[in-house]
Structure 1
Amino acid sequence: MDDRPVILLAGGDHADVVEQEFRARYDRDYRIELTHGQAACLDRARELVGEGEQITMVAAEHHLPDGTAIELLHQLPSVVATARRVSLVPFEYFNDSLDELRDAMTRRDLDTYVILPRGPRDEEFHTALIELLSEWGWSVGRPVVTVTDLVAEPGDRNAAAIRDLLERLGFPYRALTPDDEEAAEILETAGPGAELPVVSTFRGQALSAATPAAVTEAIYGGFDSIPDGVIADVAIIGAGPAGLATAVYAASEGLATVVLERDAIGGQAGSSSMIRNYLGFPRGISGMRLAQRSRIQASRFGARFFTGRPAARIEPGPPNEPEHQHLHVRGAQLCARTVVLATGVAYRRLGLPGVEDLVGAGVYYGAATSMAREMQDRDVYVVGGGNSAGQAAVHLAKFAGGVTILVRRASLAETMSDYLVREIEATPTIQVRTRTVVADGGGDAWLQWLRLENLETGESTKTSADGLFCLLGAEPDCSWLPEGVALDERGFVLTGRDVPRDAWVDGQPPASLETTVPGVFAVGDVRAGSMKRVASASGEGASVLPLVHAHLARLRAEEFGA
């Protein structure tokens, strides 16, 4: 039996070149099948789906004997929504076809277009394909090579949270039940009396009664491993885009850099299925991949990551160490000369008892990309009108029977990027209900129904629902910060000229990203007035470094002067 996923080709005049190029690179891991023309490709796709085969990609010559690649790829989602769609354009037709291809991309009729290779070693061509295959393997396919094993009973909510964590971290894993043969050795390693879920990590540990926090500590190293007496030049609290950018630039400039993260490295952005408007990634990049690459980049420059516990408080150093800030987490302490707050924001809760009781059982806060596969042919609702909600809806639509976006406002365009609005409009399985909120919900051990309320008419309707993904906007968690850090009325950290004038020193405000506590800075979504976008958060993370350097220089000058 050949269990390789299928790459389906639709050839025209260059069919031989197309087939040769794909077989030369991908024949070991994928089953390459060549068809001729639009109708034959669609028929074969239907046959493969009917046989239970996985189609990872459909690549079609731009001109086919009975149509075009765009016409074919437009129809493909009705047959298989998860396959990646590529138009292969001969070089001689590229200029004349460019406007048509751009329009098709805008309508989301295809994932990308590439020029057919004109000679050997066309790595640009294959880079485009490999990126799509990698993204498919993460979001749709199951990993063949894994580094982590999870043993749990079906329906275990804690196990579902661990799965979501591993997906966001980009760690390939196996999900096993206690009855699986492969689970016996893992449970034996965990020892007698081990409690499920059990997680076996690549470090050889077997964690009993595992939690997401315990798993992430086991992967990256816990706070208990922080060496005594270490003084960081910069301690970054939060490892979303802003914190990761700060870590990359701080470590690359030779500063002793430590990053503290309570949850998954990548923050909320790490759960985004596809970010299409981030500079330098014309085909888009998943939040997981962006976070993974950023972490690796920062680590290679020397930044150290400690995860799994939230920061509890920040205190000034004792009189003999006035230049230090002491950061406390449960059971550990770290000294740092400067602190960068990059804790981001959390999604607001619905606060409905019937819904809250089902968190992890059909109800999720955030994109929860790991659960998208579980929503196959089900009715799914997404609450929220921001980019994260739009990205989640588009991703879920590849699996679910139908996706409904619920927003309080009159239109998505008020809060969502135009490219995502157009993508949603072009996806037939997504509908949008404006001026609508969730008023109630419930189910027996799993979400089964929602009650929706129209804010204009007051009308209430009950509907069946299998999944609810809530991406309800931003709430900062700054309650643990010292009183000296000024916040705005919504709880975001004030910096620079936005801080109250009575906190200015000698008539001068703090530096642009500095808080009311000297040496403590804030970047990204936690900062009042920030744009709440991945790119702007990354920019602030880079921009804070000159301010950090300036503060460190003042500390050195004071020490030298003393």
Structure 2
Amino acid sequence: MTSVDAVRAPAIVLVSGDVADELREQFWRYSREYELHVAGSCEEALQLTESILEGGSTVALFVSDSRLPDDDVINALQQWRALVPTARRLIAPPYERFLVDGPALRPGLAEGKYDAYLLMPRGVRDEEFHQAVSELLSDWGSTAADPEVFAASIVAEGHDALVWAIRDYLDRMGFPNRVCSPASPEGQEILARAGGTPSLPVVSALDREPVSASSVRDVAIALYGVPDKVNVPDIVDLAVVGAGPAGLAAAVYGSSEGLSTVVIEAEAIGGQAGSSSMIRNYLGFPRGISGMRLAQRARSQALRFGTRFFTGHDVVALVPGRPHTLQTTDGRVLARAVVVASGVRYNRLRVEPLEALVGLGVYYGTAMSTAREMSGSDAFVVGGGNSAGQAAVHLARHSRSVTILIRRPSLAETMSRYLIGEIDNNPRITVEPLTHVVDGGGDGRLEWLTTERIDTGERTTRPAAGLYLLIGASPHCSWLPPEVALDEFGFVLTGRDVPPETWIGGLPPASLATTVPGVFAVGDVRAGSTKRVATAAGEGASVVSSVHTWLS
């Protein structure tokens, strides 16, 4: 049973020994854009999958009954995963087996052996079930499949550091994109529209005129038509610096409660969290949500309530006063209250040969846009936090192997248990404790790495196509005035942590207030914060009550 489309579509493989007809009936609505294939056993599904791959297509989703006639379902899912690591995996038993089989199968869900456990629909229009299926297919489409519809095209000779930075920005903003050779028909058409002899890369975004991009900021202007100056003629109630989870939450709650709100973001909406391939422990998303999707939904929510966004603009100074003045690279904003949510920046590795290859196989952050390029290659992730774990799990869908390098003896001190479980159960991922990177290189891009054991000094050189660096972070608040107290590491002090000599009337400021009245700090930039998306969003939401108190 195949799609009616002329071009062969990705497949959905349905596997059951006795309810195959019911599964096929429920998934018929997907047959317009996916090939539907039905198998009666694990072995038949394996043969079917191999045939699909040999035919030049792939599998987007495996859907299995909780019981198979020839194998344990978890073991079957692992075999299918080995054939198609990018495919999503769903167990959908009928009603009579759903509750009985659930307790034994759910531990595998927590360990990342499959993606969802859902009751097979008992009738028509079970939209709760199909919403979950659509989420799985959407996740597959955004992280595994090559886009079929492009919002932006980049004309370039190759994938250099600037092209990578542009693609990373576009991915984090939710814009499907591609790179075209200037000699290709698509590339020639875009260059002709640009006129003259534009320097590469040239970016064509949406219906905007193509532009030569010398920086990511040029692309931001092409996408959003950002004016030459940040133009906010009035004094706003609230200015938020940074559009990560904390800043977005402050914008949503501030503007929804009637505060005139402006958000200024130097890079992409979402901050570091926006580059996470999948956040599985965020409240309300049982199957997880990508950082990009979470950020874009929050942005849309804030826009609905009237928030104004300025992206691609650095805040270079805060001048305290009544009102406070935020100086940006392209103008100023006057605000009665300021929320500092500028987050952190990944620390540098400081291995010079590798610094020269940033964007050419070496990446700071998860760099989701490069994962497909790791197919059949060896990737390395440096870092032991949740972001590093999420990057490793995502890369394992594409790379031949993923090695996590950490200085600590184990991941237990720094990573959530659910991610450790996924890593332990993924045969493509290994963890090397007490190890750091000391050298690396290649001819024009990364080809090899040298690592060193911290305890023994033993060095090992090995092939490497990708190095992803998530090695701690430093606060991004050099633009703050000396009146805002910082701790010894440069994080913003708030509440009872501020120096007692700055207290007013012998009382400390509110929990998220700084030493400057009317200036607040939330999220990762704040001293003592918990580096979690949910915590940052919670701080961003709760700071609005303190803003109201200040304004009153």
Asked if these proteins are the same fold (TM beyond 0.5), I'd say yes
Do the aligned residues in 2 keep the contact of 1:163 with 1:370 (CA within 8 Å)?
Answer: yes
Q: Equivalents in 2 of 1:173, 1:386: separation in Å?
A: 29
Do the aligned residues in 1 keep the contact of 2:231 with 2:332 (CA within 8 Å)?
Answer: no
Corresponding residue of 2:322 = 323
Do the aligned residues in 1 keep the contact of 2:61 with 2:88 (CA within 8 Å)?
Answer: yes
Which range moves more in the overlay, 74-83 or 353-362?
74-83
Corresponding residue of 1:422 = 421
Structure 2 residue 90 is the aligned partner of structure 1 residue 86: yes
Do the aligned residues in 2 keep the contact of 1:238 with 1:342 (CA within 8 Å)?
Answer: yes
Identity %: 53
Corresponding residue of 2:153 = 149
Q: Structure 2: give runs of 5+ residues left out of the alignment.
A: 1-5
Q: Equivalents in 1 of 2:102, 2:212: separation in Å?
A: 56
Corresponding residue of 1:41 = 45
Corresponding residue of 1:249 = 253
Residue 10 of structure 1 is aligned with which of 7, 15, 20?
15
Alignment coverage as a number of residue pairs: 547
Alignment of 1:229-308 (within 5 A): 229-308=233-312
* TM-score normalised by structure 1 residue count: 0.95
Corresponding residue of 2:531 = 532
Deviations 1:534-553 (A, max 9, x none): 00000000010000011111
SS in 2 for 1:414: coil
Corresponding residue of 2:100 = 96
Corresponding residue of 1:21 = 26
The RMSD of aligned alpha carbons is 1.3
Do the aligned residues in 1 keep the contact of 2:244 with 2:269 (CA within 8 Å)?
Answer: yes
Do the aligned residues in 2 keep the contact of 1:147 with 1:171 (CA within 8 Å)?
Answer: yes
Deviations 1:446-500 (A, max 9, x none): 1111111111111122222111000001211221110101000000000011001
SS in 2 for 1:280: coil
Corresponding residue of 2:389 = 390
Q: Equivalents in 1 of 2:93, 2:175: separation in Å?
A: 35
Corresponding residue of 1:362 = 361
Corresponding residue of 2:445 = 446
The ranges of structure 1 where at least 4 consecutive aligned residues each deviate by more than 4 angstroms after the TM superposition are none
Which range moves more in the overlay, 119-128 or 2-11?
2-11
C-alpha displacement of 1:221 = 4.3
Q: Equivalents in 2 of 1:172, 1:459: separation in Å?
A: 43
Deviations 1:275-329 (A, max 9, x none): 111100111111111111111111111111111121100113xxxxx42111111
Deviations 1:385-416 (A, max 9, x none): 00000000000011000010000001001100
Do the aligned residues in 2 keep the contact of 1:107 with 1:422 (CA within 8 Å)?
Answer: yes
Corresponding residue of 2:63 = 59
Corresponding residue of 2:490 = 491
Deviations 1:480-539 (A, max 9, x none): 110101000000000011001111112111111011111110000000000010000000
Q: Equivalents in 2 of 1:329, 1:130: separation in Å?
A: 41
SS in 1 for 2:246: helix
Corresponding residue of 2:3 = none
Q: Equivalents in 2 of 1:205, 1:223: separation in Å?
A: 15
Do the aligned residues in 1 keep the contact of 2:213 with 2:219 (CA within 8 Å)?
Answer: no
Q: Equivalents in 2 of 1:531, 1:496: separation in Å?
A: 15
Do the aligned residues in 2 keep the contact of 1:381 with 1:403 (CA within 8 Å)?
Answer: yes
Do the aligned residues in 1 keep the contact of 2:255 with 2:305 (CA within 8 Å)?
Answer: yes
Do the aligned residues in 2 keep the contact of 1:223 with 1:332 (CA within 8 Å)?
Answer: no
Give 1:60's aligned amino acid. S
SS in 2 for 1:288: helix
* TM-score normalised by structure 2 residue count: 0.97
C-alpha displacement of 1:225 = 5.3
Give 2:323's aligned amino acid. H
